[in-house]
Structure 1
Amino acid sequence: MSPEEFREAFEAFHSAGVLVHVHCNGDQTTQLFLDTLEAILTAHPRPDHRHTCTHSQMSTTAQYKRMATLGACANIFANHIWAWGDQHMDITVGPDRARRMNAAATALRHGVPISLHSDTPVTPLGPLHTMKHAVTRLTVSGRVMGEAERISAQQALEAVTLGGAYMLKMDHEIGSLEAGKFADMAVLSQDPLEVPAEEIGTIHVYGTVVGGRHHTSNVPAPARAGTR
Structure 2
Amino acid sequence: HEGKWLTEPEKLLKQTKRFWDAGWNLHTHVNGDKGLDVVLGITEKLAPRNGQDIVMEHLGYSTEAQNRRIGEMGLYVSAQPNYIRILGDTYAKTGLGPDRAAQMNRLGSLERKGVPLGLHSDFNMAPIDPLYLAWVASNRITLDGNAKAPKERLSLDKALRAVTIEAAQVIGLDAMVGSIATGKKADFTVLDKDPYVVGAAKLRDVKVQGVLFEGRWFPAK
Q: Say whether the fold is shared (TM-score over 0.5).
A: yes
Which AA in structure 1 matches 2:133?
A: T
Specify which of 205, 209, 215 is matched with residue 206 of structure 1: 209
The 3-state SS of whatever aligns with 1:194 is: helix
Give the structure 2 partner of residue 221 of structure 1: none
Give the structure 2 partner of residue 78 of structure 1: 81
Which AA in structure 2 matches 1:197?
A: A
- The structure with the larger Rg is 1
Give the structure 1 partner of residue 134 of structure 2: 131
Given that residues 118 and 166 in structure 2 are in contact (C-alpha distance below 8 angstroms), is that contact kept between their aligned partners in structure 1? yes
Identical positions, percent: 34
For residue 20 of structure 1, report the CA deviation from its aligned partner: 1.0
Specify which of 100, 107, 112 is matched with residue 110 of structure 2: 107
Specify which of 6, 14, 35 is matched with residue 12 of structure 2: 6
Over residues 187-224 of structure 1, what are the superposed CA-to-partner deviations in whole Å (9 max), with x where a residue is unaligned?
Answer: 11011121142321121111111111111111xxxxxx
Specify which of 37, 41, 65 is matched with residue 35 of structure 1: 41
Given that residues 189 and 206 in structure 1 are in contact (C-alpha distance below 8 angstroms), is that contact kept between their aligned partners in structure 2? yes
Over residues 85-118 of structure 1, what are the superposed CA-to-partner deviations in whole Å (9 max), with x where a residue is unaligned?
Answer: 2112222212210222101110111222111121
| Structure 2 unaligned regions, length at least 5 | 1-6
Q: CA RMSD in A?
A: 1.3
Give the structure 2 partner of residue 175 of structure 1: 178
Given that residues 50 and 72 in structure 1 are in contact (C-alpha distance below 8 angstroms), is that contact kept between their aligned partners in structure 2? yes
Give the structure 1 partner of residue 58 of structure 2: 55
Given that residues 98 and 146 in structure 1 are in contact (C-alpha distance below 8 angstroms), is that contact kept between their aligned partners in structure 2? no
For residue 169 of structure 1, report the CA deviation from its aligned partner: 2.1
Q: How far, CA to CA, are the matches of 2:82 and 2:194 in structure 1? A: 21
Given that residues 84 and 102 in structure 2 are in contact (C-alpha distance below 8 angstroms), is that contact kept between their aligned partners in structure 1? no
Given that residues 62 and 104 in structure 2 are in contact (C-alpha distance below 8 angstroms), is that contact kept between their aligned partners in structure 1? yes
Give the structure 1 partner of residue 150 of structure 2: 147
What TM-score do you get using the length of structure 1 for normalisation?
A: 0.90
For residue 24 of structure 1, report the CA deviation from its aligned partner: 0.7
Over residues 53-84 of structure 1, what are the superposed CA-to-partner deviations in whole Å (9 max), with x where a residue is unaligned?
Answer: 11111111111111122221111111222122
Give the structure 2 partner of residue 192 of structure 1: 195
Q: How far, CA to CA, are the matches of 1:48 and 1:137 in structure 2? A: 34
For residue 48 of structure 1, report the CA deviation from its aligned partner: 4.9
For residue 52 of structure 1, report the CA deviation from its aligned partner: 0.6
The 3-state SS of whatever aligns with 2:154 is: coil
